[in-house]
Copies of this chain bind each other. A is one copy, B any other.
Amino acid sequence: MITKRELLQHWLGHRKLTRKTIEKFPEKELFEFSIGGMRPFSSLIKELISIDVPGLKEMVTGETGTFSHDLPLNTKEEILTRWDEDTIQIEEYFSQINEDQLHETLKLFGMYEFTIISHLLYFIDNEIHHRGQGFVYLRALGIEPPFFWDRY
């Protein structure tokens, strides 16, 4: 129903929208603003960064990876630069994923035991989920978020 290439293109479209969402935040609010005791948007993005490339790398190499959400990204520019670097790595690793192994179980980061396809869908869903939260932060700040359908 969905090919590997289509799923990658779908994800890359979402990454473009997430990038636009990061760009909409003022520098200070990206790192400090939050609602109801939640993490600021920069921390939600760092969560995505911390699992996406290391997770894909583990799927391809089979070597158990490590991850830390506490990344040394301290400005919007640093986050956007890392986002773009990771997009290139995501394209590279994704293309190396073996389609025959998609339904095999992988204990990602030595902790989360699901099929590879489930991990991939989780990565994308988790990005949509947190970005939706970023939209609320932006609205609370009086800033119009990007259009949800703008993946270009």
Asked if A133 is an interface residue, CB under 8 A from chain B, the answer is yes
Which listed residue, B7, B37, B121, B142, touches A139 by the CB 8 Å rule? B37
The interface on chain A, measured as residues whose beta carbon lies within 8 A of the other chain's beta carbons, has a size of: 35
B129 touches A1 (CB 8 A): no
Tell me the complex Cα distance, A131–B141, Å.
Answer: 20
Asked if A2 is an interface residue, CB under 8 A from chain B, the answer is yes
List residues of chain B with CB within 8 A of the CB of A38. Answer: 136, 139
Which listed residue, B132, B136, B139, touches A128 by the CB 8 Å rule? B132
Majority secondary structure, A binding face: helix
Asked if A46 is an interface residue, CB under 8 A from chain B, the answer is no
Known: A1-B2, A117-B1. A129 touches B148 (CB 8 A): yes
List residues of chain B with CB within 8 A of the CB of A139. Answer: 35-38
Which listed residue, B7, B138, B149, touches A1 by the CB 8 Å rule? B7
